[in-house]
Structure 1
Amino acid sequence: MGKFEIKKDKSGQFRFNLKAGNGQVILSSEAYTTKSACENGIESVRKNSQDDGKFERKTAKDGSPYFNLKATNGQVIGASEMYSSTSAMENGVASVKKNAPDASVDDISS
């Protein structure tokens, strides 16, 4: 079972990671100034992760495939790690689709 983990970064901003059942991070958020904005980002991932068209598949300068998950307004709400192959990246997309809707939220920001 996947989970969202909310944490505070060094500058005091809130971020979340979506982790798969094995604990691997499959999606990381941008920084949010408030916890409620971060929680709204999580809800946006839950909703948008079910639409394949919201996944923007990209290739880094070094050739590594990765993806961004975008909201309806086109804003990036989460980014993946760099993958070793396109098929590994597609497995990451599938993992986000599978884990995001029912993932619990673990708030470790305090």
Structure 2
Amino acid sequence: MSRVLSAATIVAGLLCFVGPAPAQDAKMKFELYKGKDEQFRWRLKAANGAILATAGQGYKAAADARHGIELVQKAGTNDKEKFEVYEDEKKEHRWRLKAVNGQVVATSSEGYKAKADAEKVIAAIKAGASKAGVVEVKE
């Protein structure tokens, strides 16, 4: 069962990553799972359970999904992948991470009313995803 939280809850949960004193036990984690369509997918969760990012697509092989996770983990230190903030059809701010070939590697799990909130999520992912573990879960 996926857990959907409001943008305010997500941003509040991220303050431990971008605020002055990060909490010692606040950790992100990647969940790798096989969807109903039999494709492998992943999601990045904050310590409070909020979904921060999802795969830009489904993958036939788990190894390919893991490669997508590795790209997100390196996004804070690798200038090859680029985060983009954009406005969707509902006039909400979203972000996506694109690989050097233009393929979308990761997307925001929801829209944010303020562009600054989307940017805070990006900053938190850059700061915390490299340390996030990967767990396999059943859907």
TM normalised by structure 1 equals 0.91
Cα contact 1:2–1:103 (8 A) shared by 2:
yes
Which residue of structure 2 aligns with residue 88 of structure 1? 117
- In structure 2, what is the Cα distance between the partners aligned to 1:2 and 1:42? 12
1:9–1:98 CA distance, 2 compared to 1 (3 A): same
Q: CA deviation at 1:91?
A: 1.2
Partner SS, residue 82 of structure 1: coil
Larger radius of gyration: 2
Q: For CA contacts below 8 A with separation 6 or more, give which structure has more relative contact order.
A: 1
CA distance in structure 1 between the partners assigned to 2:40 and 2:102 by the alignment: 21
Q: Is the 8 A contact 1:16 1:42 kept in 2?
A: yes
- Which amino acid in structure 1 is aligned with residue 45 of structure 2? K
2:34 to 2, 5, 8: 8
Match of 1:24 in 2: 50
How far is 1:51 from its partner? 4.7
Equivalent pairs counted in the alignment come to 110
What is the one-letter code of the residue matched to 1:98?
Answer: A
- Per-residue CA deviations over 1:28-68 (Å, capped at 9, x if unaligned) read 00211110100111111112243577101110011000000
Measured in 2, the distance between the counterparts of 1:67 and 1:10 equals: 25
Q: CA RMSD in A?
A: 1.7
Structure with the bigger percentage of strand: 1
Which residue does 2:74 correspond to in 1? 47
CA contact (8 A) 1:48 1:72 kept: no
Structure 1 runs (4+) greater than 4 angstroms displaced: none
Gaps of 5+ in 2: 1-26
Per the normalisation by structure 2, the TM-score is 0.73
